[in-house]
Amino acid sequence: MDSILVTGGGPLNGEIPIAGAKNACLTLMPATLLSDEPLTLTNAPRLSDIKTMTALLQSLGAEVQGLQGGQVLAMSSHDLNNLHADYDIVRKMRASILVLGPMLARAGQAVVSLPGGCAIGARPVDLHLKAFEAMGADLELRDGYVHAKAPSGGLKGAVVEFPFVSVGATENALMAATLAKGTTVLKNAAREPEIVDLAHCLQAMGAQIEGEGTSTITIQGVDRLGGATHRVVTDRIELGTYMLAPAICGGEVTCLGGKMNLVESFCERLDAAGVSVEETEKGLKVSRKGDRVRAVDVTTEPYPGFPTDLQAQMMALLCTAEGTSQLEEKIFENRFMHAPELIRMGAKIDVHGGTAKVTGVDQLKGAPVMATDLRASVSLILAGLAARGETVVSRVYHLDRGYEHVVRKLSAVGGKIERVKVE
């Protein structure tokens, strides 16, 4: 099994290219199921989750081919010959549930296993199912599978009001509504850039969508969708992660392709902590204003609030801040599993339910630590870059789900990091 070996000390300087968004690409790929014409995605990230979604789509009869080293995905679902998404694939990744809406809308039926994925809380799919029921679908949960069938004549437009903001449910309902009969209105919809990116791709395929990026999205169903070529939006979570590298280590790093509007609330917290962020033609240039950052309070919220997917990385930074910070996690329960590992590195963290109090220390120390989920894994790497001595991060298969070439990217700006085999 592989581990990541990090030797701390020294500033980081240079440029880091930011990949296409994992969460956007995993949503865009199932959109191919809505049409019998080709859908091509450019700027696709090269990650294990993308391979998992590729395998799932291929199991349903879709053709998926990676071009240009995997950065281009050429897809076609002209022969959709299987409407059963099997547990063996779906269990590996929560985003697999996103094939349900497109299959139900186009083929009128689908059988999809309940998904697996990150161990960061229950994250139920009931909001997805309630949206489909509102569109007239008949749903039955049996033996761990969702058995879904559209009414004769297909799904029907409906008003769907989510009781709380759900990115996945918004995405699934949005895709299904593009082929429903009549008008669908999604209220209290998610506003993330990945939602906007999906809407733009669907619009390029011929969908009639208004209000993307707001809390009310209106979709006028069409009879069929065509093909398109679409560029995947920049990954704002990878962007924020690498912006934290010079903040925690010192130095100056430009994150190529980064845009301030993708990470505005995150940048506000960085500024309060004493981190400079400047938008240039190349991307976002980041540096620490002083020798240490200042303590700040952080509350995770749905977009445009502070992203839950940057909470673990921000905690790593605040472990070395002057003063005491408070992080409140409002999106997912059980998402402070990285805290005990940071404590092994000398951090002072006190967790009570959904709140963590972090008192900064002068310096962290290297230690053997274990990644518990995707974002936790990279938070430990960031902490290791700033720590004294060596840090060994195990269970890095989590890392491969969301960050491409992390060793190469951090090494290029002066980080002492390598991937090693551990017996």
Instruction: Specify the 3-state DSSP secondary structure of 119.
Output: coil
Pairing relation of β-strands 298-299 and 324-328? parallel
Q: Which two tokens stand for residue 265?
A: 């609330």
Average pLDDT over residues 18-41: 97
Average pLDDT over residues 315-329: 98
Quote the radius of gyration of the chain (alpha carbons, Å).
22
At residue 404's C-alpha, the angle toward residues 114 and 286, to 5°, is 115
Most distant CA pair in the chain, distance: 66
Q: What does the DSSP 8-state code read for residue 295?
A: P
What one-letter code names the amino acid at 382?
A: L
Residues with Cβ within 8 Å of 255's Cβ and at least 6 positions away in sequence, in order, are 15, 16, 18, 239, 242, 243, 283, 284, 285, 286
What was the pLDDT predicted at 38?
A: 98
* pLDDT surpasses 80 at 422: no
Superfamily of domain 22-231: Enolpyruvate transferase domain (3.65.10.10)
Q: Which two tokens stand for residue 53?
A: 């979604």
The backbone torsions φ and ψ at residue 244, rounded to the nearest 5 degrees and listed phi first, read: -75, -20
Active-site residue, selected from the candidate residues 25, 118, 201, 319: 118
Q: Which two tokens stand for residue 301?
A: 């919220």
Alpha helices by DSSP H, 29-73: 48-59
What was the pLDDT predicted at 123?
A: 46
Q: Which residues are annotated as a binding site for UDP-N-acetyl-alpha-D-glucosamine?
A: 94, 123-127, 309, 331
What was the pLDDT predicted at 372?
A: 87
What was the pLDDT predicted at 374?
A: 85
> For the segment 117-144, what is each residue's pLDDT rounded down to a tens digit?
444 344 468 999 999 999 999 999 988 8
Tell me whether domains 2-19+235-421 and 22-231 share a fold: yes
Average pLDDT over residues 46-59: 95
Residues with Cβ within 8 Å of 417's Cβ and at least 6 positions away in sequence, in order, are 4, 5, 6, 7, 381, 384, 385, 406, 407, 410, 411
> Interhelix angle for 311-318 vs 236-249, to 10°?
10
When mean pLDDT is compared across 251-255, 332-336, 358-362, 367-371, the lowest value belongs to 332-336
Residue 118 known to be catalytic? yes
What was the pLDDT predicted at 120?
A: 34
d(CA 322, CA 378): 22
pTM: 0.92
Q: Are 41 and 75 in contact (CB under 8 A)?
A: yes
Percent of the chain with pLDDT over 70: 98
All structural domains of the chain with their residue ranges: 2-19+235-421, 22-231
CB atoms < 10 A from the CB of 68, how many? 9
> For the segment 98-113, what is each residue's pLDDT rounded down to a tens digit?
999 999 999 999 999 9
Average pLDDT over residues 352-371: 96
The CATH T-level fold of domain 2-19+235-421 is UDP-n-acetylglucosamine1-carboxyvinyl-transferase; Chain (3.65.10)
Q: Which residues are annotated as a binding site for phosphoenolpyruvate?
A: 22-23
d(CA 260, CA 307): 14
Residues with Cβ within 8 Å of 408's Cβ and at least 6 positions away in sequence, in order, are none
> For the segment 219-234, what is each residue's pLDDT rounded down to a tens digit?
999 999 999 999 999 9
**Per-residue confidence at 94, pLDDT binned at 50, 70, 90?**
confident
For the chain, the average pLDDT equals 94
What was the pLDDT predicted at 423?
A: 66
